[in-house]
């Protein structure tokens, strides 16, 4: 599997009008805290070494907190550089809700988990399915509709998305 490049990923994201920030593991917490617009809810990141626990983010929120949050923070275990897509897993942490309710979705991805193409992402998906992890959403840009006479963002899902790319450890 070839690794997709951060640069290609960021280019795709800018075509989707989706801002992105590249951070080192050390900068991760401070930078993320900057990006988050409170109040924020989150689902714990599913990768080693990084956590949302030290941040102003409510994990396992109440329904009211979920509804009132401006920002929802989730991790993504895989991204597709050519499309600007991130993969959100349906997990017991409620990633689905956190990614859908707030108007602003902040997604944390790891550089090493960026793939180049949809085809490579499917290779990964097949191995995940084989391992029994079988519910994922491939999300690309904010939710949108053309059904109201013009293209509008933020229908049932977020209006804005921000991707935070964490550099690999040196």
Partner 1 sequence: MSESTRSDAERIRTLLRTESEEIKENTRLFNAARYDAVETVGAETHERYRTQAREIKEESIDRLPELLDRTRRAVEENGGTVYVADDAADANRYIRTVLAEKDADSVVKSKSMTTEEIDLNESLEANGCGVWETDLGEFVIQVAEESPSHIVGPSLHKSREEITALFEREFDPEEPLDSAQKLTAFAREFLGERIDEADIGITGANFVMAESGSIALVTNEGNARKCASIPDTHVAVAGIEKIIPSVAELEPFAELISRSATGQDIPQYLSLLTPPVETPTIDFDRAEEPEFGGNDADRDFHLVLIDNGRRAMRQDEELRETLYCIRCGACANSCANFQSVGGHAFGGETYTGGIATGWEAGIEGLDVAEEFNDLCTGCSRCVNACPVKIDIPWINTVVRDRINRGKDPGFEDLLVDGLVPDEEESGTPLRKRFFGNFETAAKIGSATAPLSNLVASSGVARKAMESTVGIDARRDLPTFERTTLRKWARSRDTHVEDPLRRVVLYPDVYTNYVQTARGKAAVRVLEALGCEVVVPDVGGSGRAPLSQGMIATAEGKARSVAESLLFYLEDGYDVVVIEPSDLAMFRREYEKLLPAAAHERIDEGSYEILEFVYGLLENGADIAALPDGDGNGVAYHSHCQQRTLGLESYTETVLERLGYDVLTSDVECCGMAGSFGYKSEYYELSMDVGETLATQFEPVENERTVVASGTSCMEQLDSLLTAESRHPIELLDPVDR
Binding stretches for partner 1 (CB under 8 A):
60-64, 66, 83, 85, 90-92, 94-97, 100, 118-119, 122, 125-126, 129, 134-152, 154-158
Distance, in Å, from the CA atom of 72 to the CA atom of 104, rounded to the nearest integer, reads 6
Nearest C-alpha neighbor of 86 from the set 58, 66, 59, 115: 115
Of 10 and 166, CB closest to partner 1: 10
Q: Residue 73 in contact with residue 40, Cβ under 8 Å? A: yes
Distance, in Å, from the CA atom of 90 to the CA atom of 96, rounded to the nearest integer, reads 6
Distance, in Å, from the CA atom of 57 to the CA atom of 170, rounded to the nearest integer, reads 28
Q: How far is the CB of 21 from partner 1 (least distance, A)?
A: 21
Q: How far is the CB of 134 from partner 1 (least distance, A)?
A: 4
Q: How far is the CB of 27 from partner 1 (least distance, A)?
A: 30
Q: How far is the CB of 142 from partner 1 (least distance, A)?
A: 7
List of E strands, 18-170: 20-23, 40-42, 58-59, 71-76, 78-80, 85-89, 104-110, 114-115, 136-140, 144-145, 152-153, 160-166
Of 28 and 101, CB closest to partner 1: 101
Of 24 and 119, CB closest to partner 1: 119
Distance, in Å, from the CA atom of 45 to the CA atom of 61, rounded to the nearest integer, reads 15
Of 4 and 23, CB closest to partner 1: 4
Q: How far is the CB of 159 from partner 1 (least distance, A)?
A: 10
Of 22 and 59, CB closest to partner 1: 59
């Amino acid at each position: 599997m070839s690794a997709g490049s951060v640069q290609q990923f960021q280019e795709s994201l800018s075509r989707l009008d989706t801002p992105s920030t590249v951070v080192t593991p050390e900068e991760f917490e401070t930078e993320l805290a900057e990006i988050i617009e409170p109040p924020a809810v989150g689902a714990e990141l599913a990768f080693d070494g990084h956590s949302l626990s030290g941040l102003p983010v409510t994990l396992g929120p109440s329904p009211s907190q979920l509804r009132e949050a401006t920002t929802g923070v989730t991790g993504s275990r895989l991204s597709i550089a050519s499309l600007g897509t991130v993969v959100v897993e349906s997990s017991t942490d409620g990633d689905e809700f956190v990614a859908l309710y707030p108007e602003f979705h902040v997604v944390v991805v790891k550089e090493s988990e960026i793939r180049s193409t949809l085809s490579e992402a499917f290779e990964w998906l097949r191995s995940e399915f084989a391992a029994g992890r079988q519910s994922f959403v491939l999300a690309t840009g904010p939710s949108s509709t053309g059904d109201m006479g013009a293209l509008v963002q933020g229908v049932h899902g977020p209006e804005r998305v921000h991707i935070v790319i964490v550099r690999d450890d040196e």
